[in-house]
Amino acid sequence: MPTKRVLVTGGAGFLGSHLCDRLLAAGHDVLAVDNFSTGSQANLGHLLRKPHFHLRQHDVVQPLDEDVDGIFNLACPASPLHYQRDPVHTTLTSVLGVHHLLELAERRGARLFQASTSEVYGDPQVTPQSENYRGNVNPLGPRACYDEGKRCAETLCFAYHLQRGVAVRIARIFNTYGPRLAPGDGRVVSNFICQALRGEDITVYGSGEQTRSFCYVDDLIEGVLLLMDADIEGPLNLGNPDCRPVLELAELVLRLTGSRSRIVFQALPADDPKMRCPDIRHATRQLGWAPKVRLEDGLRETIDYFRHLLH
């Protein structure tokens, strides 16, 4: 992209902070906005003195007016532990938040990137999941505030695009991991690593045979930037098609950390998907994108991050 003033909502979060790094490195002027409900200013501490970086505390449930050329909307709690804490606010963040940002995009003639999610597929009945699969979502379950909120956000994006000509880009993001994941946020990678490093039991829900896709954060951000700059609205799946059983991930974390933690099993949460694997053929064909970082290599980087964080 040519040099622009870019807004990143959810900028203090895991993905948002990495995206801010890349945008600044590309020479853009970046405004990060976050309500700090799950994001942390520590994720952006290394950027605060940079002249082209700006940080503001703001909740996207409230309108926002800034002179921007591009908008990356990553504002929403992404782990079940966090988004189920206040399901009303989670739903409003996805729906009312993207509405305010689409209004801003229309006023400024800006392009908007919407961070959607693999959770729009719910507990899928097919694998891998392609973009034309309509999903199997429980609209009244404990995950609905996030799943249905993100589905409605996609609807609003295309409504603004088709009715009002707003330029939108939508990515359905699958499980992503790497440095700056928050400890104790309920995500499987950070849970397993923190438990292993502390010598605690590693908690596997269900039998551990359910599959997950694990994409390293650097690969994911590369896909986000390629899509934002491409001439395609999406939605496109962004994730790693190298899917692994959760139990295999737990065993791999034990090996890489050298931990003597035990693996223990607990009941599977309600509506927890049994299969999660992206079909990324469209992203590969239209963006030339595919993940490059091997799971073992990405886990080593993530484990090193948590070793320093926890000691």
- Which residues participate in catalysis according to the annotation? 146
Alpha-carbon gap, residue 158 to 19, rounded angstroms: 24
Alpha-carbon gap, residue 159 to 130, rounded angstroms: 22
Alpha-carbon gap, residue 309 to 311, rounded angstroms: 6
Is residue 235 within 8 Å of residue 292, measured between CB atoms? no
Alpha-carbon gap, residue 297 to 285, rounded angstroms: 26
Residues 6+ apart with CB under 8 A from 100: 60, 61, 62, 63, 64
Is residue 175 within 8 Å of residue 288, measured between CB atoms? no
Q: Calculate the dihedral angle through the C-alpha atoms of 283, 288, 292, 298, rounding to the nearest 10 degrees.
A: -50
CB atoms within 10 A of CB 304: 11
Q: Hey, is 232 helix, strand or coil?
A: coil
Alpha-carbon gap, residue 159 to 162, rounded angstroms: 5
**CA geometry: angle 74, 76, 82, nearest 5 deg:** 140
Q: Hey, is 196 helix, strand or coil?
A: helix
